[in-house]
Chain A
Amino acid sequence: EAGVTQFPSHSVIEKGQTVTLRCDPISGHDNLYWYRRVMGKEIKFLLHFVKESKQDESGMPNNRFLAERTGGTYSTLKVQPAELEDSGVYFCASSHRDPRLGGYTFGSGTRLTVV
């Protein structure tokens, strides 16, 4: 089965610009998660979709971040306008069942650099 696909793999943008990250989960996985790792810090949870609904968005840093999952398939994470502190690696993961039972599959991440 195909894994979780993220693109772009790298993005360099200027402060104030807009960037959209995309995640294609494993087909049939209702649960989709976004995480972020900022330089020197631990990976942090951003939000969790169940199908097209936001189950938990408690980790979203501020209203410059907008996540969508139209139709319960792929998801996008838009940062508008981007700030320097948004630089980091953004990971997407998906799971078929209750992730507390295991079964997370992570994508390779999008490395975002804001200059």
Chain B
Amino acid sequence: KQEVTQIPAALSVPEGENLVLNCSFTDSAIYNLQWFRQDPGKGLTSLLLIQSSQREQTSGRLNASLDKSSGRSTLYIAASQPGDSATYLCAFSSRGTSYGKLTFGQGTILTVHP
């Protein structure tokens, strides 16, 4: 059973494009949802954290939204740059489990070419 689904699995865009990464989840009792970035051979870096009571969070060119009722979150990247190339992961923390546990999607591999 896939609890978190990320679409698309991979995305290749030219520099400058605005793009949207999608994340859907089956647990309606989430506590929060996070978006992470992973560069090859590196750990995960937290980009944005949305609490269940919030609708969206913004940081620079990144905007993440959360719709609990539909079980969806999107990560919007404006004016993409080659340095944005990485794997993007969404993960949620559930009210039904221990507070330390994150449930991850498989990620979207983003390539931004010059």
Q: How far is the CB of B96 from chain A (nearest CB, A)?
A: 12
CA–CA, A24 and B78, complex, Å? 36
Contacts of A74 in B (CB 8 A): none
Q: Which of A91, A100, A101 lies in contact with B44, CB distance below 8 A?
A: A91
Interface size for B (C-beta < 8 A) is 27
In the complex, the answer to whether A56 meets B100 with C-beta atoms within 8 Å is yes
At the interface, is chain B mostly helix, strand, loop or mixed? strand
Q: Which of A98, A100, A102 lies in contact with B46, CB distance below 8 A?
A: A102
Contact digits for B77-88, partner A, Cβ 8 Å, 1 yes 0 no: 000000000000
B60 at the interface (CB under 8 A from A): no
Q: Which of B4, B46, B49 lies in contact with A42, CB distance below 8 A?
A: B4
A48-B100 contact, Cβ under 8 Å, with A43-B89, A100-B32, A104-B46: yes
CA–CA, A59 and B104, complex, Å? 13
Q: Which of A31, A91, A102, A107 lies in contact with B100, CB distance below 8 A?
A: A31
Q: Which of B80-108 contact A (CB under 8 A)?
A: 89, 91, 93, 97-107
In the complex, the answer to whether A108 meets B100 with C-beta atoms within 8 Å is no
Contacts of B42 in A (CB 8 A): 108
**Cβ contacts A to B, 14 pairs, < 8 Å:** A4-B43, A35-B102, A42-B107, A43-B89, A44-B104, A45-B102, A91-B44, A99-B99, A99-B100, A99-B102, A100-B32, A102-B32, A107-B43, A109-B43
- Residue numbers of A with Cβ under 8 A of B are 3-4, 31, 33, 35, 41-45, 48, 50, 55-56, 58-59, 91, 93, 98-102, 104-109
The 10 closest A-B pairs by CB, nearest first: A48-B100, A106-B43, A56-B98, A106-B44, A43-B104, A102-B49, A42-B106, A45-B101, A108-B43, A42-B104
- Residue numbers of B with Cβ under 8 A of A are 4, 31-32, 34, 36, 41-46, 49, 51, 89, 91, 93, 97-107
